Amino acid sequence: MTLDDLDRALLRLMVADAAQPASALGRQLGLSQPATWRRIRRLQEGGILRGRRLQLDAERLGFGVTVFLGLKLATKGRVSLEDFERAVGAIPEVQVVTHVLGLYDYRLRVVARDLADFERVLRRRIMTLPGVGNVEANVMLSEERRPGPL
Amino acid sequence: MLDDKDRALLRRLQADPSLTVPELAALAGLTAGQATRRLDRMTADGVIRGQTAVIDWAALGYPLQVSLRVTLDKTVPGAFDAFLAAAREVAEVLEIQTFLGRVDVRLALVARDLAHYQDLYRRRILSLPHIADIEALMDVAAVKSETGLPL
């Protein structure tokens, strides 16, 4: 699917604020509301626009700690990856699980109320998963999301 | 402070941000007016920051995602700020996190293919200031993608 400059501008506006109505998006691009809506539909149908995500302030909601975990499986071959992935994905505090290639097998993004809460999640829920080996934890201090190559 | 009704609203909205206020209100057992007032208050308090579009970078022609774990030379004053400012100039960078731990900064980068990645890595990434060490991990599959907070 090929995008023109208006599609890219539309995506940039929606990354910045996806809650605005098509009429408001159109005004900023000099497009009518139906023309804007058609472009949004085309981006959705092309699989480029996957949906929207609510952005919440984790700290104000009592989640003061975010940790990125690099996790290595100890017994590859003996543990089913599917079993591990299903179990780790079911932990509510684990927000993101990515299978990676390199120093670790998986990257986990874990959210917790504080460091003591994180330790509880790590010890009771993550370290007890089948096949878990080495774990490296890095506590997040700041985060920026960029619009990317649009 | 948030009560259970506020949390119920956030849970529903987090699960499906495209819900309209009347739909959301019905699911949370509130009237549309009550839901609007609560959502407005949480927005004013900064609990709700807004909504962002989720882009499928593979569908846009960037199927490769790489995590770059960077250690900086902390003996240089202002190393963090200089590195972060330069990293923001690389269009293919999607996320920048700083850490307390073995890694100082993580960059999430997208690329069109391996040749594009190699070019980005050599020309744009290795030239970023004050890098002491850098490791790359390539994403193979998203097992669980951003689900939000366990409210």
Which tokens in the block code for residue B75?
Answer: 């003996």
Question: Can you give the pLDDT at residue A42?
Answer: 96
Q: With bands split at pLDDT 50, 70 and 90, how would you rate the model's confidence at A77?
A: low
Cβ contacts of A54 on chain B, cutoff 8 Å: 10, 13-14, 17, 48, 51, 148
DSSP B117-151: HHHHIIIIITTSTTEEEEEEEEEEEEEE-------
Tell me whether residues B91 and A149 touch, CB distance under 8 A.
yes
Please give the residue range of the domain that contains residue A130: 65-139
Tell me whether residues A144 and B143 touch, CB distance under 8 A.
no
| Any domain includes B96 | yes
Q: Are residues B68 and B132 in the same domain?
A: yes
Question: Can you give the pLDDT at residue B134?
Answer: 97
Decide if A10 contacts A29 (C-beta within 8 A).
yes
Please give the residue range of the domain that contains residue B12: 4-44
Q: Are residues B86 and B131 in the same domain?
A: yes
| Any domain includes A54 | no
For residue A76, the 8-state DSSP code is B
Query: Which residue among A11, A68, A143 sits closest to B55, beta carbon to beta carbon?
Result: A11
Query: Which residue among A88, A100, A139 sits closest to B139, beta carbon to beta carbon?
Result: A100
pLDDT tens by residue, B39-90: 999 999 999 999 999 999 999 999 999 999 999 998 999 999 999 999 999 9
Total domains in chain B come to: 2
**Predicted complex ipTM:** 0.92
Domain with residue A26: its CATH number is 1.10.10.10
| Any domain includes A51 | no
- pLDDT at residue A74 is higher than 90: no
Q: With bands split at pLDDT 50, 70 and 90, how would you rate the model's confidence at B146?
A: confident
Q: Are residues A32 and A73 in the same domain?
A: no
Total domains in chain A come to: 2
Q: Are residues A34 and A79 in the same domain?
A: no
Calculate ∠ Cα A66-A72-A75, nearest 5°. Answer: 145
| Any domain includes B149 | no
Domain with residue B26: its CATH number is 1.10.10.10
Average pLDDT over residues A50-60: 94
| Any domain includes B107 | yes
Which tokens in the block code for residue A105?
Answer: 């097998």
Domain with residue A122: its CATH number is 3.30.70.920
What is the C-alpha to C-alpha distance for residues B65 and B110, in angstroms, rounded to an integer? 5
Question: Can you give the pLDDT at residue A117?
Answer: 97
Query: Which residue among A17, A49, A96 sits closest to B145, beta carbon to beta carbon?
Result: A96
What is the C-alpha to C-alpha distance for residues B17 and A114, in angstroms, rounded to an integer? 27
Domain with residue B71: its CATH number is 3.30.70.920
Q: Which residue type is seen at B116?
A: H
Q: Are residues A82 and A28 in the same domain?
A: no
Q: How many CB pairs under 8 A join A and B?
A: 195
What is the C-alpha to C-alpha distance for residues A140 and B97, in angstroms, rounded to an integer? 7
Decide if B55 contacts A148 (C-beta within 8 A).
yes
pTM value > 0.90? yes
Tell me whether residues A96 and B52 touch, CB distance under 8 A.
no
Query: Which residue among A19, A49, A143 sits closest to B95, beta carbon to beta carbon?
Result: A143
Chain A: give the shortest CA distance to residue B25, in Å: 17
Tell me whether residues B48 and A54 touch, CB distance under 8 A.
yes
| Any domain includes A126 | yes
Question: Can you give the pLDDT at residue A104?
Answer: 94
